[in-house]
Amino acid sequence: MTDKMIRMGFILAGLSNILGVAICSKFLTNDVLKDTQPAVMGGFGLIAIMLWGLAYISVANRYETLKWLIAVFAIEKLAYVAAWVSFMSSQSLEGVYNQDFLAGVFFTIYGVNDFVFMLFFVYVFARKTKS
């Protein structure tokens, strides 16, 4: 993976967090999304996800010098993947979709999205560890 592709990966990760939350939460007004998994996706949690997105974008041009921060990003993504797996194993998406389509879409994809970006951050960290 080239440096340009890695920089774009950080920007894509950030935009995924920011735009994904903004759109699916209807700019933080979607109560179905917030009430479905309140400990993770409550109002404060959604803002925190967008702040993580800004953090990813902020390191896009300096990631080479921030190896351990990239490891933190990977661990953060692992936490969200674990929350999603827990949610998916104990909840029905049908009820969420019946209440709000965008909330259903969000809960369908957020864990997969976070897993992909977790792998990306692990790759970048491992690449910098070898250097």
**For 13-68, how does the pLDDT look when each residue is reduced to its tens digit (9 = 90+)?**
999 999 999 999 999 999 999 999 999 999 999 999 999 999 999 999 999 999 99
Percent of the chain clearing pLDDT 70 (strictly above) = 97
3-state helix, strand, coil split of the chain in percent (to 5) is 85, 0, 15
Percent of the chain clearing pLDDT 90 (strictly above) = 94
Average pLDDT over the chain reads 95
pLDDT at residue 131 greater than cutoff 60: no
The SS3 of residue 64 is helix
pTM > 0.85: yes
Interhelix angle 67-90/101-130, nearest 10 degrees: 150
pLDDT band at 75 (very low <50, low <70, confident <90, very high): very high
